[in-house]
Chain A
């Protein structure tokens, strides 16, 4: 259709960044599972495996922000390099009594932002140069306040704990099935096949557990997004600015037509059904709720602010 302009690349949602970060952690998790499986296979006892596993979890937790910065290519920037960014962040943290996080910038035209860090004090807020260019100051304030809410409510900790459960679930199952299987190991000749199929069952169930917990983590993450939107609205007092920023970032701004109704009516295009936005499967896997829903909630907040 001629009147639906094609979304330019910088306005499309930056899934690349998210994929890179998620992939880094997924690869880590797999290495982790493989490593522990080898340990179990070598016949290490429960306690020493538990010790090794917890050391690995702590290490992952400790280096989480380094991993995020490394996999996203974000660089910490000084006030001289990005004065507007520092000004906006300072305004929010001062008026809300929060510690000032480090500020990082990713050099890409895709508008995006994220926060990371173990504690509110040592946290990092990262934005892309595309975001800084695209948004006006008040919209930028809304997005940064959203990220600062993630930091304030310790969402990184929440999600790490949530993924810890999946690790523990996997670990217990490993012992339930495989630990038992190993016990048979020395008895007879026919056991080799048995332990082989036991291994397959273990891997299948481990995968299932991991997938289910992955989906649960996604669900928690989506809920945290709504919470962060709400927090941002409370910090800035302007939900409509964040809604506008979301419209711009997601490219939905383009969806509001500029072609005159009378002209469109002349082309008989008024009855064309717009493309269905977002499938259910897509929603299940995404960490962020659909932008339309977030904007709707923000606008409800905006409406409830008067009277």
Chain B
């Protein structure tokens, strides 16, 4: 495995030299293969939930964008077995929460919503997308630990967030997440930028 590990690392380096810079949604979609790694190495499964958040803005343009997203998600509902809701939190951030069985469907939905937001010119308002994972052994347990991978739209990079109780975090599990998928997805190495998101609305 160690060999494999280094081989993959060096292969990535060689390839990245002659490849053109990745587009943002490539970064986002890299999560779909990382999901398998999380499952086999840490026993973590996608909880089937993801929330995209953006700063709430008043005005007709913003409302039009919300309507368009609603229309798109209503159509997708039947095609992808996708469910969604919109919530505004205490910080006045709009959360678009998607629920679907497969990570592929969630990612496709999140990417499409992100594209719509960008098209309508609210790119700067985009904050993060938060993907939830759950330990397969803890499924059904009411007090199970929530594992989150946060995708930061400013830097197009992922970082871990594992809350533990109220306002404290399990750094050990966060570091485990980094160790497991840090090479597979664009990952924030500087832990001083791993800003938490307490009391997520999903």
Binding site for B on A (CB under 8 A): 240-241, 243-244, 247, 252-253, 255-266, 270, 274, 295-296, 299-300, 302-304, 306-307
Binds A, one of B101-109, B111-119, B167-175: B167-175
Of all chain A residues, the one with the shortest Cβ separation from B55 is A265
Inter-subunit contact B169/A302 (CB<8 Å): no
Chain B residues with CB below 8 A from A252, complex form:
191
Q: Which of A247, A256, A262, A296 contacts B93 (CB 8 A)?
A: A262
Chain B residues with CB below 8 A from A295, complex form:
175
Binding site for A on B (CB under 8 A): 1-2, 5, 40-42, 53, 55, 89, 91, 93, 127-128, 150, 154, 167-169, 171-172, 174-176, 178-180, 182, 189-198
22 A-B residue pairs with Cβ-Cβ distance under 8 Å, sorted by A, are: A240-B172, A240-B176, A243-B172, A244-B171, A244-B175, A256-B194, A258-B169, A258-B196, A260-B91, A260-B195, A261-B128, A262-B91, A266-B91, A274-B190, A299-B175, A299-B182, A302-B176, A302-B179, A303-B5, A306-B41, A307-B1, A307-B40
Bound: A256/B154 CA distance, A:
19
Chain B residues with CB below 8 A from A240, complex form:
172, 175-176, 179
Of all chain B residues, the one with the shortest Cβ separation from A248 is B171
A256-B191, A306-B42 are contacts. A261–B175 as well, Cβ < 8 Å?
no
Bound: A217/B1 CA distance, A:
34
Chain B residues with CB below 8 A from A300, complex form:
5, 179
The 8 closest A-B pairs by CB, nearest first: A261-B195, A299-B179, A262-B91, A303-B179, A306-B41, A255-B192, A274-B192, A302-B179
Of all chain B residues, the one with the shortest Cβ separation from A138 is B172
Q: Which of B41, B172, B192, B198 contacts A303 (CB 8 A)?
A: B41
The main secondary structure of chain A at its interface with chain B is: helix
Bound: A256/B161 CA distance, A:
10
A143 to chain B, nearest CB (A): 15
B140 to chain A, nearest CB (A): 24
Chain B residues with CB below 8 A from A296, complex form:
189
Bound: A302/B42 CA distance, A:
11
The main secondary structure of chain B at its interface with chain A is: mixed
Q: A296-B189, A299-B178 are in contact. List 4 more A-B contacts (CB 8 A).
A: A261-B150, A266-B91, A304-B2, A304-B5
Inter-subunit contact A264/B175 (CB<8 Å): no
Bound: A259/B168 CA distance, A:
10
Inter-subunit contact B178/A257 (CB<8 Å): no
Bound: A306/B181 CA distance, A:
12
Inter-subunit contact A270/B179 (CB<8 Å): no
Bound: A270/B189 CA distance, A:
15
Of all chain B residues, the one with the shortest Cβ separation from A262 is B91
B94 to chain A, nearest CB (A): 11
Chain B residues with CB below 8 A from A241, complex form:
172
Chain A residues with CB below 8 A from B2, complex form:
304
Inter-subunit contact A258/B168 (CB<8 Å): yes
Bound: A247/B198 CA distance, A:
22
Inter-subunit contact A306/B40 (CB<8 Å): yes
A295 to chain B, nearest CB (A): 7
Chain A residues with CB below 8 A from B182, complex form:
299, 303
Bound: A304/B179 CA distance, A:
9
Chain A residues with CB below 8 A from B91, complex form:
260, 262-263, 266
Of all chain A residues, the one with the shortest Cβ separation from B152 is A261
A252-B191, A265-B127, A306-B42 are contacts. A258–B176 as well, Cβ < 8 Å?
no
Bound: A302/B183 CA distance, A:
13
Bound: A89/B99 CA distance, A:
49
A257-B194, A261-B127 are contacts. A243–B40 as well, Cβ < 8 Å?
no
Chain B residues with CB below 8 A from A265, complex form:
55, 127
Chain B residues with CB below 8 A from A244, complex form:
171-172, 175
Chain B residues with CB below 8 A from A263, complex form:
91
Inter-subunit contact B169/A256 (CB<8 Å): yes
Inter-subunit contact B196/A257 (CB<8 Å): yes
